[in-house]
Structure 1
Amino acid sequence: MDSQQFYLEEGFPFQGRRLEKLKAFLTQTDLSYDSQIEYTALFKTQDGQIAGCGSRHKNTLKCIAINPAFQGKGCLSLIMTQLLKNAASEGISHLFLFTKPLYLQMFSDMGFYSIMQTEDMLLMENRKDGIREYLRQEAALTPAYKGKKIGAIVMNANPFTNGHRYLVETAASFCDLLHVFVLSADSSEFPSDLRLELVKKGCADFANVQIHGSSDYLISAATFPDYFLKDKATVSDKTALLDLMIFGVYFKETFGITQRFVGEEPFSQITNAYNQQMKKVLPSFGIKVTEIPRCKYQDTVISATLVRKKFLTGDENDLKELQNFVPETTYAFLISPQGTALKKQLSAQRGGIL
């Protein structure tokens, strides 16, 4: 069959019966649909058979599958061309691709480069040495230091609390230099640039702490999409492994990291599962994992979830009480006009009234 005999259906994303048919097709090719998908390009034959499909979530291409009956018929080229066209229309040029390791050569021929692969997953990007170039630029911002104990923390800080600050302070006391990577994904209530700013301000008095954004290479929609699935209670070891291997190879290589610190996680099952997998994986890369007990105010565990809840109630007493749970720099933002505007925006999104 000539590629001209396939016709395109687009989903932004698909809904209803079309979505169910797409899910059934992916299941036949040993793939599962990702509920975060924003766009799907699906090609069919004139008699309605699905020849192949591919999808995009933000800057990550995934769920790419070809009907075995139409392999070698030009369908994959059509799918990739359409996905690239759609991404370009959204202003996205730097792309990641999730696929299976056996398709490495196929997508390499299409201009994608391997970042990391496990037995089951392969992550690629369309920039040669993109990850090493990004980390080289980040490392250039790090001041000269002496010592061999190099630590790291990866945090979302949504927003930065006294609990986060306690974790940084404790970890820094064990290290000659501590790198704190703040997640860059804009999938949280507090925007990524604001979260990074609040962490920098809240840690400004620590001389041996360096703050970084994480870009797309660390707990992102590309490396660990399950982290952002709010309706998913658990995460498989396979899903977290890819992200941890990237950290164990590239981040250790660039920054000389010897120890990674995490806070105890009594609330989020996904984060707790990720932490447990971390303890299994990172030591094989020469990185010690240290779990630090949660900070409390009186008998209350300090968490960003609790802070957000009190912030959004609209109750003045709740807002004042937050002085016990967040640093002065975070509190200053929460009570500022910008903080009030964010509160109204978040409340409107949740259907609340302030």
Structure 2
Amino acid sequence: MMEVTRLWLDINASAKKAWQALLTQAGLVADEQVDYTVGIYDQGQLIATGSTYQNIIKLVAVADTAKHNNLLAKITGALLERLTADRFEQAYVYTKPCTATYFKALGFKAIAETTHICLLERGYPDIETFQAKLKRAKRPSQQAGAIVMNANPFTNGHRYLVQQALQTCDVLYVLVVSEDRSLFDTAARLKMVQAGVADLKNVVVLTTDHYLVSNATFPSYFLKDQADLKVAAEQAQLDAQVFLQRVAPVLDLKHRFVGSEPNSAVTAVYNDQMAQAFAGHLQLTVIDRLTENQQPVSATTVRQALKRDDWETVQQLVPTSTFKNLRSVNHDS
């Protein structure tokens, strides 16, 4: 009887090589952003595998020669047991569209898909909960637009992007990334954005609730320079489809605004994938970055200044509301 065993990719080079080969055979990119991986061997050959990253099931593959053995059920069952043991109430799964039906039979519901990836979820709150929140926040409009921002922290560049978008839109939704993988947590970033746009009319600030630029849709975003750009492109496609299929129709959006990206290859890939996904459906507008001393204003520069306690530079690059917030946090700490 073939048993499910854990694969220790970090310390077992041969297991990692076999894992990469199986994923390649299955047409999957060996995305190494995983924290738990299992496999099934037959006579020393790895014939099935699957991984989790936090509460996301991903990279599930079965060798072509072993697909009659119902190994997909064994792998998925082992991963779901792991998520249950880790007390996750929600689970997401990345899979090929052709195998989505299997996961739907296990109670997963599709969120969005691309040519190569389908993202499904199980548990509560879910995508419908998120959409209901959006509906409650919706305002009447003819030209509604949206910006998705991490705002880590909220800078003059972010405010400039909002102001430029408002020249086109009668209602602008600013969606603040909900993942706590940044220097400032979600609550702190949300507070800074709300304060930074409080004087601007027709701006609605909301959180993404892990459905946009999240661990589930676009984990490579948080890796920046360390990200595999091929993996990032696949994830960016998926994130763009979640926005197009699940967010834009609810808010009746006509526009999505992004800043130009001279420094981050991952964000540049994201902008490119959105342009492809939105073509013919939604207007993507790329706004040139605000500059200060001939350099793009960026949250990265602000964080670097904070690290070296350079409050003069920070004050030049952020709104007064953000500066006061940062000083308060610094004083409290």
Q: Cα 1:50–1:223, aligned 2, differ >3 Å: closer, same or farther?
A: same
Question: Deviations 1:287-346 (Å, cap 9, x if unpaired)?
Answer: 2122212112243321111101111113xxx123211111122212322245774xxxxx
Q: Cα 1:71–1:257, aligned 2, differ >3 Å: closer, same or farther?
A: same
Q: Which residue of 1 aligns with 2:257?
A: 261
Matching of residue 162 in structure 1 with residue 159 in structure 2: no
- The one-letter amino acid paired with 1:258 is K
Aligned residues between the structures: 330
CA distance in 2, matches of 1:94, 1:161: 33
CA distance in 2, matches of 1:278, 1:321: 33
Matching of residue 59 in structure 1 with residue 55 in structure 2: yes
Q: Which residue of 1 aligns with 2:30?
A: 33
Q: Which residue of 2 aligns with 1:331?
A: 323
The gaps in structure 2 that reach 5 residues or longer are none
CA distance in 2, matches of 1:339, 1:101: 51
CA distance in 1, matches of 2:332, 2:18: 44
Q: Is the 8 A contact 2:144 2:253 kept in 1?
A: yes
- The one-letter amino acid paired with 1:153 is I
- The one-letter amino acid paired with 1:174 is T
Matching of residue 213 in structure 1 with residue 204 in structure 2: no
TM-score (normalizing by structure 2): 0.91
- The one-letter amino acid paired with 2:184 is F
- The one-letter amino acid paired with 1:109 is A
Q: State the Cα RMSD in Å.
A: 2.2
Q: Is the 8 A contact 1:13 1:37 kept in 2?
A: no
CA distance in 1, matches of 2:75, 2:228: 32
Q: Is the 8 A contact 1:40 1:55 kept in 2?
A: yes
Q: Is the 8 A contact 2:211 2:217 kept in 1?
A: yes
User: SS where residue 51 of structure 1 aligns?
Assistant: strand
- TM superposition outliers: structure 1 runs of 4+ over 6 Å: none
- The one-letter amino acid paired with 2:187 is D
Residue 73 (structure 2) aligned to one of 67, 77, 87? 77
Q: Which residue of 1 aligns with 2:297?
A: 302
Q: How does 1:81-230 map to 2 (within 5 A)?
A: 81-127=77-123, 130-142=126-138, 145-230=139-224
User: SS where residue 271 of structure 1 aligns?
Assistant: helix
CA distance in 1, matches of 2:331, 2:38: 40
Q: Is the 8 A contact 2:4 2:78 kept in 1?
A: no
CA distance in 1, matches of 2:63, 2:275: 39
CA distance in 1, matches of 2:242, 2:171: 21
Matching of residue 21 in structure 1 with residue 18 in structure 2: yes
User: SS where residue 260 of structure 1 aligns?
Assistant: strand
Offset at 1:157? 1.0
Q: Cα 1:32–1:300, aligned 2, differ >3 Å: closer, same or farther?
A: closer
Q: Is the 8 A contact 1:233 1:269 kept in 2?
A: no
The gaps in structure 1 that reach 5 residues or longer are 342-354
Offset at 1:21? 2.7
Q: Cα 1:51–1:238, aligned 2, differ >3 Å: closer, same or farther?
A: closer
